[in-house]
Amino acid sequence: MKFTNAIVRKPSKSMVQGLTSANLGSPNYQNALRQHKSYVAALQSCGVKVKILDADENYPDSTFVEDVALLTPHCAIITNPGAPSRRGEIENMKHVVKDFYSEIEEIKSPGFIEAGDIMMVGKHYYIGLSARTNREGAQQLIHILEKYDLTGSLVKLEKVLHLKTGLAYLENNNLVVCGEFLSNTGFQKFNRIEIPEEESYAANCIWINDKVIIPAGYPLAKQKILDAGYDIIEVDVSEFRKLDGGLSCLSLRF
Ligand code: GLY
């Protein structure tokens, strides 16, 4: 398994109006730009070519580019975000993925999916049913995946925003697990790297070509992932945390 490409979108000034349930104050745009640059550098240091899309002021959450597409080895699937304010983000992404894929599929209303709710484990895709992803959207996705010899299964979320808020697959059967997923029997078969609740934000980390990018400032999570044998790159993404955004949300990796 190797990723060769990533897509990111620069934060917009309008990000201060982004959706959030966090009580961490408003993001600082200049700091967010600096942090985004560091994030891109971290991706590049993992050996992927990064396509950097222009900021889109019309969509405050559009820097969280992961939610609007699922990029599999065989096809691109444009999602249909459950958050109404984010639905228009897909129009530009449809054009962007044409540079990389000939097979492009779409999730259609009344199906809704945000790809922060999708975790790839080899040829299998776990799909979180959340406030942003509904059963109809998940079933459309499974139908599409099966056309390409891929599979999907559902995971009911209780509390977190997206599936990958509390789970991260680090390849080699290693799974970062936190919060409500600790007791989920569907994830017992993995080598689990359990993240304590006080560092739950760090459960949203990303594996890229045997390195793991984690948010800066979470020493317990860092030590556990180091102990599992990974090289770690830390990136400060505190401005994005203020918008409920994690490391994975900031890129598409494929
Ligand atoms: N602010 C990221 C999201 O809620 O979609």
Condensed to tens digits (0 to 9), the pLDDT of residues 69-113 reads 999 999 999 999 999 999 999 999 999 999 999 999 999 999 999
The two structure tokens encoding residue 253: 């990796």
Residue nearest to atom 3 of ligand 1 (CA): 19
Task: Determine if ligand 1 sits within 6 Å of the CB of residue 61.
Answer: yes
Structure confidence at residue 208 as a pLDDT band (50, 70, 90): very high
Task: Determine if ligand 1 sits within 6 Å of the CB of residue 20.
Answer: yes
Q: Of the candidates 90, 82, 86, which has an alpha carbon nearest to the alpha carbon of residue 131?
A: 82
Q: Are 80 and 109 in contact (CB under 8 A)?
A: yes
User: What average pLDDT does the segment 193-218 reach?
Assistant: 98
Rounded distance from Cα 72 to ligand 1 centre (Å): 23
The two structure tokens encoding residue 242: 């203020």
**pLDDT reported for residue 64:** 98
Cα atoms in the Cβ-side hemisphere of radius 13 Å centred on 177: 18
Q: Are 57 and 239 in contact (CB under 8 A)?
A: no
- Model-level pTM? 0.97
Catalytic residues: 162, 249
Within 8 A by CB and 6+ apart from 210, the residues are: 171, 230, 231
Mutate to test the pocket of ligand 1, among 20, 164, 239 (most ligand atoms within 8 A of CB): 20
Q: Are 127 and 163 in contact (CB under 8 A)?
A: yes
Task: Determine if ligand 1 sits within 6 Å of the CB of residue 18.
Answer: yes
- Give the SS3 label for residue 47: coil
Give me the chain's average pLDDT, please: 98
Asked if the bond preceding 60 is cis, omega within 30° of 0, the reply is no
Domains detected in the chain: 5-253 (3.75.10.10)
Residue nearest to atom 4 of ligand 1 (CA): 19
Condensed to tens digits (0 to 9), the pLDDT of residues 130-189 reads 999 999 999 999 999 999 999 999 999 999 999 999 999 999 999 999 999 999 999 999
